[in-house]
């Protein structure tokens, strides 16, 4: 078997062993090389889910529901189940995930360990704000059931804990009620960053979901132009459109990245000019929340060298200036992705000691891996983030320097007391060395 | 078309059976699941219950199927709980350590017991019941390995071959009673049974895919199905290699 990869296909490391879990209550064999690390569905962009030493524990075989309280919207399930599998069960019964990342291919264990956020952070916080309890297996054989009110310190270490506190075997969390699978989505264009801040402020106060896409290659007066989408679950109605999901896939690994300056400019420009719906319209939840999931293996377009995602958060006071500086730097280099994602986080503080989301603005972009050139650009971006007192998202990182991690996650030393002595990752070794 | 509203599954903790059960539940079926490992079985029944609507009945019980004295009770319990049985899937099996069997006659007998005799015992009881009710479908997971004996795996192959042949006869007998007997012959399936194998090649199939084929074959009352279908071609060739040549090959 090929070694498991992370979503950005970088770094490529082979563990000493790979072990598939199939039963939540079964013992993990003692003979497996240590350290251990859980691998969910590899939707992180980097090395939080990888280890070159020891054994990767593949959790996808833990894909059973444990209980579903349909009256109150409470679901308990094994940690290797994907958000997609959950949605297939709950949506037809009138429930939805309280928070969802931009892919439904994440497992629940992955969503907890990266304490993922969605487009509704300003109203609903992170995924772990909705977790009621979870079960943690430690390599000494102990089992800890923890939650916001039970063994709270273990809970706070484990949510957003990057898989380092042990193996999460199941999770129980609350759902939100919906009337149907549709979203009511309003889209608006903004011509530059100033317009974004005003528009975003207005929309956030009225809509539970907001997110903006920015053409990161537009320069001069148009710097920061983009689209903002505000949405809510659609109200009950008698007639709904038909929806049939189409799936495509990228069938091969191109020898070089298909993402380059020319294709990027063209695509970004096209996206910006697409028709908008200022009056709003219905969109099915799948294309609204998971536009990229319809193209299977889209990560292959970056070629064998893989790519990076750069996602930072900047505290509110510095947000406007730093965002402008980041876009300026990226634009100057002509690097950057098809669409940068810009979103403001609300004030709800995250529960995890290492959770990434915090009040401020988050910007995320993909970059083809062009070796040193790309890494040098990141150093320039790091300087802006550091200066502004921001942080990078560990779940989307394959290269941040230890110093930036430690300044962005000041609780890291307190956290390290909860790390299972037999668990580790490439990420953890990198940022603590 | 056979309806599969009430289905009894033996070896319900098998990965293939579990996927089949999930798909049956999604179609609205009620299930009675028999499995050997309590923790595994309870986890699976819990999962199926969460997936099922309140109109569906999901339950089961723990049993080691080599204990044939229990078989009548298991079938009675399922019949009683489900209020009749439309279909049965027999899925349990073990993959013997061929080398160890060669050195140990009692191990060989155990493997034949688990893979063939326990199945034949169940089938004998089920056949009489289904012959009386004059309808329904019984499917058994045999294997492509039962199509020809090979040095690397002939204890398993012989047991599965016995099951395949028994099913042929039973099919012939029950055709008159309007009962379908379905022989499922999977190729390489990525399940815990084959955990020790390197699963890189194109011949490996996911259990959910096999499950889909099983349900289709049961609904349509097929006789023998290879899953995926291309194993039909592979086995056609393997079966037709002259013994004179075959015996020198290392398959
Ligand atoms: C297209 C796309 C869009 C995305 N959008 C967002 C977004 O909007 N917001 C956001 O926050 N993230 C987003 N992500 C990132 C993704 O949601 C997270 O990286 C998520 O954690 C991936 O889940 P996974 O199951 O694939 O976990 P993996 O990537 O396999 O693992 C992630 C971490 O979780 C740990 N882990 C996994 N399972 C367990 C377990 N059972 N016990 C203990 N530790 C475990 C691993 O050790 C690792 O540290 C996106 C990713 C993609 C590909
Ligand atoms: N995987 C393949 O490549 C492949 C190919 C062809 C045919 N098959 C056949 O497919 C069927 C299902 O196997 P699988 O691939 O799904 O593997 P699996 O997950 O290992 O399932 C085999 C199941 O049989 C159960 N079992 C064994 N002996 C039993 C007994 N005495 N009483 C009760 N249950 C017993 C096991 O229970 P425990 O959990 O208690 O051990 C296990 O759940 C088997 O008949 C197998 O021979 C498999």
ipTM over 0.90: yes
Helices (H), B83-205: 98-102, 105-112, 118-133, 154-174
B83 lies in some domain: yes
Q: Could you tell me the two tokens for B250?
A: 């290392």
Which chain A residues contact residue B51 at CB under 8 A? 65, 89
Maximal C-alpha separation, chain A: 62
Is the residue at B87 inside a domain?
A: yes
CA of B216 to the centre of ligand 2 (A): 20
CA A270 centroid distance within chain? 25
Residue where the block lists tokens 């204990």: B67
Do A105 and A112 form a contact (C-beta atoms < 8 A)?
A: no
Among B43, B198, B200, beta carbon nearest to A23: B43
Per-residue confidence (pLDDT) for residue A278, from 0 to 100: 85
**Strand pairing report for A167-174 and A131-137:** antiparallel
Residues having CB closer than 6 A to ligand 1 are: A 7, 37-44, 48-49, 59, 79, 101-103, 106-107, 109-111, 113-114, 116-118, 162-163, 167-168, 292, 395, 425
Structure tokens at A379: 């150093």
Cα dihedral angle (A6, A11, A15, A20), rounded to 10 degrees?
A: 0
Nearest ligand for residue B71 CA: 2
State the pairing for strand pair B137-141/B180-186.
parallel
pLDDT at B251: 85
Whether B56 contacts B30, CB under 8 Å: yes
Distances (CA, A) of B141 to A139, A203, B207, B214, B239: 38, 58, 12, 9, 19
Would residue B188 count as lying in a domain? yes
Strands (E), A4-62: 17-20, 36-39, 55-58
* Residue B251 resides in a domain: no
Asked if the C-beta of B44 comes within 8 angstroms of chain A's C-beta atoms, the answer is yes
The answer, yes or no, to whether residue B24 has pLDDT greater than 90, is yes
Task: Tell me the H-state helices in A207-299.
Answer: 261-273, 285-289
Reported as a single tens digit per residue, the pLDDT across B93-142 is: 999 999 999 999 999 999 999 999 999 999 999 999 999 999 999 999 99
Q: Indicate which CATH number applies to the domain containing B194.
A: 3.40.50.720
Does residue A265 have a pLDDT over 80?
no
Tell me the per-residue pLDDT of A326-360, one tens digit each, with 9 for 90 and over.
999 998 887 767 679 999 999 999 999 999 999 99
* Whole-Å CA distances, A208 to A74, A118, A122, A123: 21, 10, 7, 6
Measured distance between the N- and C-terminal CA atoms of chain B, rounded to whole angstroms = 39
Q: Which of A1, A22, A25 sits opposite B200 (nearest CB)?
A: A1
Domain tally, chain B: 1
Residues A23-75: pLDDT tens digits?
A: 999 999 999 999 999 999 999 999 999 999 999 999 999 999 999 999 999 99
Q: How confident is the model at residue A252 (pLDDT cuts 50, 70, 90)?
A: confident
pLDDT over 70, % of chain A: 99
Which residue out of A22, A73, A170 would a mutagenesis test of the B interface target, given it has the greatest number of B Cβ atoms within 10 Å? A22
Rounded CA separation A375/B38 (Å): 53
Q: What is the mean pLDDT of chain A?
A: 94
Indicate whether B166 belongs to any domain. Answer: yes
Question: Quick check: A22 and B46 CB within 8 A?
Answer: no
Residue A245 has pLDDT above 90, yes or no: no
Q: What would the mean pLDDT of A400-416 be, rounded to a whole number? A: 98
Tell me the chain A residues in contact with residue B192 when contact means C-beta distances shorter than 8 Å: 22
What does pTM read for this prediction? 0.97
Model confidence over B169-219: pLDDT tens digits?
999 999 999 999 999 999 999 999 999 898 888 899 999 999 999 999 999
Please write the tens of the pLDDT for every residue from B142-161. Answer: 999 999 999 999 999 999 99
Q: Quick check: is B1 in a domain?
A: no
Mean pLDDT of A181-195: 96
Residue A261 pLDDT greater than 90, yes or no: no
Within the 83-102 window of chain A, which residues sit less than 8 Å (CB to CB) from chain B?
Answer: 89
What is the length of chain B? 251
CA distances from A388 to A122, A200, A381, A407 (A): 21, 21, 11, 11
Domain annotation covers residue B158: yes
pLDDT at A1 over 70: no
Residue B43 structural domain: 6-246
């Amino acid at each position: 078997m090929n070694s498991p990869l992370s979503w950005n296909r970088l770094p490529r490391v082979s563990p000493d062993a790979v072990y598939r879990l199939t039963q939540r209550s079964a013992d993990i064999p003692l003979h497996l090389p240590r350290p251990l690390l859980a691998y969910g569905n590899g939707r992180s962009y980097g090395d939080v889910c990888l280890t070159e030493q020891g054994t990767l524990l593949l959790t996808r075989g833990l894909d059973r529901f444990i209980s579903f309280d349909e009256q109150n919207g409470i679901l308990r399930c094994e940690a290797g189940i994907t958000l997609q599998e959950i949605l297939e069960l709950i949506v037809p019964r009138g429930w939805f995930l309280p928070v969802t990342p931009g892919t439904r291919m994440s497992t629940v264990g992955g969503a907890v360990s990266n304490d993922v956020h969605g487009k509704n952070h300003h109203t609903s916080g992170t995924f772990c704000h909705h977790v009621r309890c979870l079960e943690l297996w430690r390599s000494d054989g102990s089992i800890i059931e923890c939650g916001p009110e039970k063994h709270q310190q273990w809970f706070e270490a484990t949510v957003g804990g990057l898989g380092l506190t042990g193996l999460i075997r199941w999770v129980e969390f609350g759902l939100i009620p919906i009337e149907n699978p549709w979203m009511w989505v309003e889209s608006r264009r903004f011509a530059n960053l100033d317009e974004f801040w005003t528009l975003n402020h207005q929309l956030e106060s009225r809509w539970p979901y907001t997110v903006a896409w920015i053409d990161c290659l537009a320069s001069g007066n148009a710097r920061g132009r983009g689209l903002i989408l505000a949405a809510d679950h659609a109200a009950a109605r008698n007639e709904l459109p038909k929806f049939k999901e189409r799936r495509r896939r990228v069938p091969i690994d191109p020898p070089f990245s298909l993402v380059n300056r020319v294709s990027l400019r063209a695509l970004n420009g096209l996206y910006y000019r697409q028709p908008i719906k200022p009056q709003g319209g219905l969109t099915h939840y799948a294309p609204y929340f998971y536009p990229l999931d319809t193209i299977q293996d889209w990560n292959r377009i970056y070629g064998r060298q893989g790519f990076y995602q750069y996602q930072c958060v900047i505290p509110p006071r510095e947000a406007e200036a730093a965002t402008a500086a980041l876009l300026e730097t990226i634009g100057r280099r002509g690097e950057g992705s098809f669409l940068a994602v810009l979103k403001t986080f609300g004030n709800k503080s995250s529960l995890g000691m290492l959770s990434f989301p915090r009040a401020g603005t988050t910007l995320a972009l993909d970059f083809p891996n062009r070796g040193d050139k790309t890494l040098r650009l990141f150093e320039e971006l790091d300087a802006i983030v550091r200066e502004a007192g921001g942080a990078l998202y560990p779940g989307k990182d394959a290269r941040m320097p230890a110093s930036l991690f430690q300044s962005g996650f000041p609780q890291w030393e307190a956290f390290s007391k909860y790390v299972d002595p037999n668990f580790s990752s490439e990420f953890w070794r990198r940022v603590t060395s | 078309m056979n309806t599969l509203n009430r289905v009894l599954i033996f070896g319900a903790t098998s990965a293939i059976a579990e996927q089949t059960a999930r798909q049956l539940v999604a179609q609205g079926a009620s299930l009675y699941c028999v499995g050997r490992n309590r923790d595994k079985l309870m986890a699976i029944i819990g999962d199926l219950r969460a997936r099922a609507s309140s109109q569906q009945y999901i339950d089961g019980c723990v049993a080691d199927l080599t204990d044939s004295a229990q078989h009548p009770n298991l079938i009675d319990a399922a019949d009683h709980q489900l209020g009749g049985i439309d279909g049965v899937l027999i899925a349990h099996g073990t993959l013997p350590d061929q080398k160890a069997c060669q050195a140990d006659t009692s191990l060989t007998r155990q493997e034949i017991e688990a893979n063939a005799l326990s199945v034949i015992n169940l089938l004998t009881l089920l056949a009489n019941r289904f012959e009386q009710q004059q309808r329904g479908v019984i499917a058994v997971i045999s294997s492509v390995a039962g199509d020809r004996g090979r040095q690397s795996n002939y204890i398993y192959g012989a047991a599965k071959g016995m099951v395949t042949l028994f099913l042929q006869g039973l099919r012939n007998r029950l055709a008159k009673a309007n009962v379908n007997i379905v022989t499922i012959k999977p190729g390489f399936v990525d399940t815990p049974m084959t955990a020790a194998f390197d699963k890189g090649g194109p011949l490996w199939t996911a259990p959910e895919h096999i499950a889909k084929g099983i349900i289709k074959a049961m609904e349509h009352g097929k006789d023998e199905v290879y899953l995926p279908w291309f194993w039909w071609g592979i086995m056609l060739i393997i079966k037709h290699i002259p013994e004179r040549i075959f015996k020198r090959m290392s398959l």
